[in-house]
């Protein structure tokens, strides 16, 4: 179905609505049952007052179908039909006159407009329409242990593949004794495990680095927590039987496209060392928060690597390969590493364990606050170990230890809160600093690196107490 904007205009003396019978006839013509009989769909309508002009937003197979449907109006005045698009579609295309992005692989893909519109309706903060990248709004983080699927942040490098569960297979090969080809039913019959895991994009907080770096300008919402259910990876590896020469395990997603100077089409691929892959808590997940994986989060199967940055949790998993050397794929060797200059030399370190971080979710800078008791709440997490403490500083004062809410978690964020009192009106700064049980704590300044990963600097929030909030 194509989208059209229709404009009908008539002279004042020929206004059809001036005759009750003619007006009723046109209303019946625009009724849902009659519209559906003509094979069109009216998305919106508006009449400009005193100008005798009607606008319709219509979906139809082609322009001729629209004009045929609008014949009763054409008899009363002029009729203009314009091919149209939506804001989501033109942004995904890169301009009002640009064609839709070319899907580079033979895999059926979700329409970029559909995916973007769904994200907007879910309240996600869209950074890019195609490939779809959007973060969770901070207010959506408040309160729950897990993030509802619709509000969970989305990170993509290519189009979102739409895979048929009836024909989808997970191919397991390479340096294994028994190559496997597994369907969803096969996986559902194997031993399952459920874990609550926080996933964070390695670029979370990139927008706060100075000087700026290239890449998606994530603020602080490229992080979410969900309950994941699936088959422990070690179960599949044991069933396949890893040969003695196996060194790394490569995970291949069904999403693919062109990247920079790399020739041809490449798939999104990442690897884990064999010891990390055989960790019993790495999951091949087919469910998220008790439901089948949503398509934007990897349906029908994705990897979940607890405590690591989410780049390792490959979505739309289609293949697992055991190899005998270090993997050199684009997203392993050309991206997702920390790069620093030390003693005049460039040093690279892979982005693996999530760095310790605390996030203030309540109050928000936009809230109108009064002097008196103030509840400061948030979440904290670390890939190295559970959170030991979260401290809060108000107006540059001494660090006060907050109360950790609930049990300490190894794989997911930790809620915390501090009740303090602010007597005076004016501007107040609030800072939160997390420390994990491994002794790692957040730095005052962001650890700048060329690709903008791992910014876990202490968050500072400016609040206005007893003052009206100025819209910005």
Q: What is the pLDDT of residue 344?
A: 84
Confidence of residue 364 (pLDDT cuts 50, 70, 90): confident
Query: Do residues 124 and 137 lie in contact, with contact meaning Cβ atoms separated by under 8 Å?
Result: yes
Q: In this structure, are 218 and 300 located in the same domain? A: yes
Last residue of a domain, one of 56, 84, 112: 84
Q: What is the pLDDT of residue 106?
A: 65
Segment 444-452 shows an average pLDDT of: 90
| Domain containing residue 287: CATH number | 3.90.420.10
Provide the whole-model pTM.
Answer: 0.90
Last residue of a domain, one of 54, 84, 114: 84
List, in sequence order, the alpha helices (H) in 243-351: 274-277, 330-333
Q: In this structure, are 261 and 388 located in the same domain? A: no
**Position 260 pLDDT exceeds 60:** yes
Does some domain include residue 109?
A: no
Q: In this structure, are 277 and 367 located in the same domain? A: no
Q: In this structure, are 195 and 285 located in the same domain? A: yes
**Position 101 pLDDT exceeds 60:** yes
Q: In this structure, are 48 and 161 located in the same domain? A: no
Highest mean pLDDT of the ranges 92-106, 131-145, 328-342:
328-342
Distance CA 43, CA 37 (A): 16
Confidence of residue 138 (pLDDT cuts 50, 70, 90): confident
- Residue ranges making up the domain that contains 442: 357-465
Q: In this structure, are 214 and 322 located in the same domain? A: yes
Q: What is the pLDDT of residue 468?
A: 54
Confidence of residue 467 (pLDDT cuts 50, 70, 90): low
Q: In this structure, are 331 and 362 located in the same domain? A: no
Does some domain include residue 99?
A: no
Q: In this structure, are 386 and 298 located in the same domain? A: no
Count Cβ atoms below 10 Å from residue 109 Cβ, excluding itself. 20
Taking all residues of the chain, what is their mean pLDDT, rounded to a whole number?
93
Q: In this structure, are 328 and 295 located in the same domain? A: yes
Does some domain include residue 352?
A: no
**Position 337 pLDDT exceeds 70:** yes
Q: In this structure, are 376 and 323 located in the same domain? A: no
Show the tokens assigned to 62: 């082609």
Q: In this structure, are 361 and 447 located in the same domain? A: yes
Does some domain include residue 291?
A: yes
The tally of domains found in the chain comes to 3
Does some domain include residue 219?
A: yes
Query: What residues contact 290, with CB distance under 8 A and at least 6 apart?
Result: 227, 229
* 457 DSSP assignment: P
Q: What is the pLDDT of residue 105?
A: 54
Distance CA 67, CA 394 (A): 65
Q: In this structure, are 301 and 206 located in the same domain? A: yes
Q: Is the peptide bond before 300 cis (omega within 30 degrees of 0)?
A: yes
| Domain containing residue 39: CATH number | 3.30.70.1060
Does some domain include residue 59?
A: yes
**Position 421 pLDDT exceeds 80:** yes
Does some domain include residue 52?
A: yes
Does some domain include residue 461?
A: yes
Segment 326-336 shows an average pLDDT of: 95
Distance CA 7, CA 82 (A): 8
Last residue of a domain, one of 68, 84, 100: 84
């Amino acid at each position: 179905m194509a989208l059209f904007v229709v404009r009908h205009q008539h002279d004042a003396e020929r206004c059809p609505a001036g005759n009750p019978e003619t007006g009723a006839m046109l209303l019946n013509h625009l009724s849902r049952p009659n519209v559906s009989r003509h094979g069109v769909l009216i998305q919106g309508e508006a009449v400009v007052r005193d100008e005798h002009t009607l606008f319709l937003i219509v979906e139809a197979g082609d322009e001729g179908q629209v004009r045929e449907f609008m014949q009763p109006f054409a008899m009363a005045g002029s009729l203009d039909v314009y091919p149209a698009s939506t804001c989501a579609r033109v942004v995904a295309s890169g301009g009002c006159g640009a064609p839709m992005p070319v899907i580079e692989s033979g895999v059926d893909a979700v329409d970029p407009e559909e995916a973007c519109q769904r994200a907007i309706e879910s309240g996600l903060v869209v950074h890019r329409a195609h490939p779809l990248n959007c973060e969770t709004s901070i207010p959506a983080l408040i309160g729950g242990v897990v993030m509802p699927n619709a509000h969970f942040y989305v990170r993509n490098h290519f189009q979102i593949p739409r895979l048929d569960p009836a024909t989808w297979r997970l191919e397991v090969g390479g340096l294994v004794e028994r190559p496997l080809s597994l369907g969803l039913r096969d996986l559902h019959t194997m031993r399952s495990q459920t874990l609550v895991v926080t996933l964070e994009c390695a670029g979370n907080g990139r927008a706060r680095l100075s000087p700026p770096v290239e890449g998606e300008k994530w603020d602080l919402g490229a992080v979410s927590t969900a309950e994941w259910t699936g088959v422990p990876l070690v179960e599949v590896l044991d069933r396949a039987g890893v040969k003695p020469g196996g060194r790394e395990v490569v995970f291949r997603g069904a999403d693919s496209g062109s990247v920079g100077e790399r020739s041809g089409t490449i798939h999104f691929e990442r690897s884990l060392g064999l010891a990390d892959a055989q960790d019993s808590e790495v999951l091949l997940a087919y469910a998220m928060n008790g439901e089948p994986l949503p398509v934007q989060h990897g349906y029908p199967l994705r990897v979940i690597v607890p405590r690591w940055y989410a780049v390792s949790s490959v979505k739309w998993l289609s293949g697992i390969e055991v190899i005998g050397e270090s993997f050199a794929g684009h997203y392993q060797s050309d991206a997702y590493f920390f790069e620093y200059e030390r003693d005049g030399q460039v040093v690279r370190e892979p982005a693996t364990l999530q760095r310790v971080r605390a996030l203030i979710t309540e109050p928000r800078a936009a809230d109108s606050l009064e002097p008196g008791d103030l509840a400061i709440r948030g979440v904290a997490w670390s890939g190295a170990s559970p959170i030991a403490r979260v401290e809060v500083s108000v107006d540059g004062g001494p660090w006060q230890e907050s109360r950790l809410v609930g049990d300490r978690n190894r794989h997911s964020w930790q809620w915390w809160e501090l009740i303090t009192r602010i007597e005076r009106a004016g501007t107040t700064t609030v800072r939160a600093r997390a420390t994990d049980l491994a002794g790692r704590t957040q730095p005052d300044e962001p650890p700048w690196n060329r690709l903008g990963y791992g910014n876990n600097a202490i968050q500072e929030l400016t609040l206005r107490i007893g003052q009206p909030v100025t819209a910005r």
